[in-house]
Amino acid sequence: MPRTARDVVFVDGVRTPFGKAGPKGIYAETRADDLVVRAIRELLRRNPSLPPERVDEVAIAATTQTGDQGLTIGRSAAVLAGLPTSVPGYAIDRMCAGAMTAVTTAGAGIAFGSYDVAIAGGVEHMGRHPMGEGVDPHPRFLADRLVDPSALVMGSTAENLHDRFPQITKERADAYAVRSQHKLAAAYAAGKIQPDLVPVAVRSSERGWGLATEDEPPRPDTTMDGLAGLKTPFRVHGNVTAGNAAGLNDGATACLIAAEDEARELDLTPRMRLVDFSFAGVEPEVMGVGPVPATERLLARNALTMDDIGLIEINEAFAVQVLAFCEHFKIDDDDPRVNPWGGAIAVGHPLASSGVRLMNQLARLFEERTDVRYGLTTMCVGMGMGGTVLWENTNWEGAK
């Protein structure tokens, strides 16, 4: 029978506050699966017109799929969240772009007609499961010179980007990082971030029970002088520091996506429309440049240019990676379209969960910016990839 692709919409998204990884972090004694279950439950609570049995799929990403991030976490989290046992789920991994891939994969299923409604997201507890835990890279990677040895160390790939773009100095990277911190602080002060944060009960054997209600990583008092003296752990006299890169973090995200006609039938309000997406590969040793070809391909396929894009949510794995993207597309370092409320350098980057955080912020920005029709969520991905998703604002005033 002939099929017609359906429009896919982003209905709602939530996330836990992001924590610092390690024994002193807010989630040190909290399970990873409990974080994503909390996000899924909140998503269902916020959308009471959606019967739980109408959820057709739960796609949850994790980069390190072991322990409390294993056991096909999409399915196990669905069961733990109280969804009917008839609702299936699966786990997905594309490293940092895990949640982004969960959305695009489930969204493609909706467009094809296999699903009507899906939950997609990601979780990463880097305190319990450090990046690379249990990984056994094939010796041929190095023996056959398939990749440069630095490709397996994300900070080293960022230093390689500084080599490739010498005009992106440490000072420029630090200045970008300071702006990210200050923009996030301003967004918090204005109440922009809080609406999509899910309070999480946390326990410490030393301090007892508590409630995580805001992100732990931000450093709003960051200054250029303070960043100037930080160590460069990936290279002697290098450019990459803990101040101009995202930290090691714990957290989870979840979002609700649906076919547009089904969303309206279920009294769910579409907040943005999925137009298209693209993933691309680059040399693993400069993985940070991955968003460039992914975005180029996406814009070309949709007959758009960067001038048509009114908002850009780009994951700040490293400041140099964002600046390389801006350089390529001739975007100023402080272009107001780019991460208006700050990014991962300030708020944190729990690997596989971050893609939906970008979408959450873009959806909120779309609500305020009815003059903007198109926005991007984009990110670099370990092992040399990039991913970009093109979204259309359902509140765009030109559509009225």
Q: How far is CA 286 from CA 139, 170, 324, in A?
A: 20, 17, 11
Catalytic, out of 129, 162, 326, 380:
380
Is 380 annotated in the active site? yes
User: CA-to-CA distance for 191 and 368, rounded, in angstroms?
Assistant: 13
Instruction: Name the pairing type of β-strands 57-61 and 89-92.
Output: parallel
Buried b / exposed e over 119-158, threshold 16 CB at 10 Å, is bbbbbbbbbbbebeeeeeeeeebeeeeebbebbbebbbbb
User: CA-to-CA distance for 270 and 267, rounded, in angstroms?
Assistant: 9
Q: Quote the tokens at residue 229.
A: 């003296």
DSSP codes joined into one string, 180-202: HHHHHHHHHHTTSSGGGB--EEE
Is 129 annotated in the active site? no
CA 11 from chain center: how many Å? 17
Is 349 annotated in the active site? yes
User: CA-to-CA distance for 375 and 381, rounded, in angstroms?
Assistant: 20
Residue with tokens 């990583």: 217
| SS3 assignment, position 240 | coil
Catalytic, out of 96, 125, 162, 255:
96
Residues constituting the chain: 400
Strands (E) across the chain are located at: 8-15, 19-20, 57-61, 89-92, 117-125, 200-204, 208-212, 249-259, 272-281, 309-314, 374-381, 385-393
Question: Catalytic residue positions?
Answer: 96, 349, 380
